[in-house]
Amino acid sequence: MTFEDLPTTPRAEELLDKAFSRASRAGRAKDGWDAQESMLITAANILSDNLANVSTSWPDFEFEVEPFYYELADAVVNVDELRQALSEVNWASRQIDELRSEYQAKMRRSGVETARKHRKQAFARMADIVDEIEDDLLTVGEARDALKTLPDIRPDEPAIVVAGYPNVGKSSFVNRVTRASNEIASYPFTTKAVQIGHFERDRIRYQIIDTPGILDRPEEERNGIERQAVSALTHLADAVVFVLDASGDCGYPIEAQLELLAEVEERFDAPVIVVCNKSDRSTDVEADAYMSVAEGENVDAVLDMAVEAVGFEPDLPTRGEN
């Protein structure tokens, strides 16, 4: 997955302690001028390499990150701020490389005592550079911790997105038809992030995406959780199962739910299957299918409709192809 294998981001103080303690050990293994140069090279290499690893381990958001992951990441963290922080960390890595070259040249033209002064001066300047990006390292570290748990979405597998108001039964439906075990409760925004489950039909693996409840309000007023759902619908959906609750138990009037349905149908290209859940309590709404997840009624039939709407045909090699 895009962010799963990102390395831990060191804090500025930890990185400086590591670099200077190892430099001290390297210096003790040698004498005179060689000791000073060894300390300089060791500290600079540790700082530069660690900072470079922080910046280069991240994918290029513009060219390497799928649109879904980009928008999902931007809902969780501010991608522009993250990219700026990574740029600053990369700058620091290059600056320390340049300092190493600068002070190595100075030390080669000096005696032992002057070399020691140059080494101390280099250490101070390196510490200033790392201190300067202390907040950037924190930004990157927090982003890494937040993004590494994003769901593993595979763009080459068909995806069915389950959408609708909070508490209409989206998570219950996903849990019933997959091996997922998303939290279910009777309060808004139980689903804190996009969740994914899988099922197979005719040897094809389908992804079924449980989105957070998105409220019927303008895009600019949606919060980060709601933007995750919109992103999923926009970039992932090969079909949408839109769940309604005509019973009113979800806490939202059916009129509001239908307004959100109209927005989804207008905004997104994927086929939309309208499903009235809790049909054991009420079927007082026009829908493509009626089911009761709680009673186990017509759940499989709804899933069959979604698979048919996707219409996925695997790209299989034909005879004669190498």
Q: What is the pLDDT of residues 15-53, one digit of tens each?
A: 999 999 999 999 998 888 899 999 999 999 999 999 999
Structure tokens at 182: 């998303």
Whole-model pTM: value is 0.78
Assign 315 a pLDDT band (cuts: 50, 70, 90). low
- The arithmetic mean of pLDDT across residues 247-269, rounded, is 91
pLDDT tens for 96-134 read 999 999 999 999 888 999 999 999 999 999 999 999 999
Q: Token match 């997955």: residue?
A: 1
Separation of alpha carbons 16 and 10, rounded Å:
10
DSSP β-bridge partners for residue 200: 205
Would you say residue 64 has pLDDT above 70? yes
Would you say residue 314 has pLDDT above 90? no
Q: What is the pLDDT of residue 231?
A: 79
Would you say residue 85 has pLDDT above 90? yes
Cβ atoms of 209 and 245 closer than 8 Å: no
Share of the chain above pLDDT 70, in %: 91
Residue type, 167: N
Residue type, 185: A
Share of the chain above pLDDT 90, in %: 65
Environment class of residue 53 by beta-carbon count within 10 Å: exposed (0-12), middle (13-18) or buried (19+)?
middle
pLDDT tens for 169-221 read 999 999 999 976 665 555 554 556 678 889 999 889 999 988 877 766 667 77
Would you say residue 144 has pLDDT above 70? yes
Cβ atoms of 228 and 212 closer than 8 Å: yes
Task: Calculate the average pLDDT of the chain.
Answer: 89
Q: Following DSSP, what letter does each residue of 139-150 receive, concatenated?
A: HHHHHHHHHTTS
In 3D, which of 137, 143, 146, 121 has the Cα closest to residue 51?
A: 137
Contacts of 68 (CB under 8 A, 6+ apart): 153, 155, 231, 232, 234, 235, 236
Separation of alpha carbons 188 and 296, rounded Å:
23
Cβ atoms of 263 and 216 closer than 8 Å: yes
- The arithmetic mean of pLDDT across residues 249-270, rounded, is 92
Query: Edge-to-edge strands of the sheet including 204-210?
Result: 195-201, 204-210, 159-163, 239-245, 272-277, 289-290
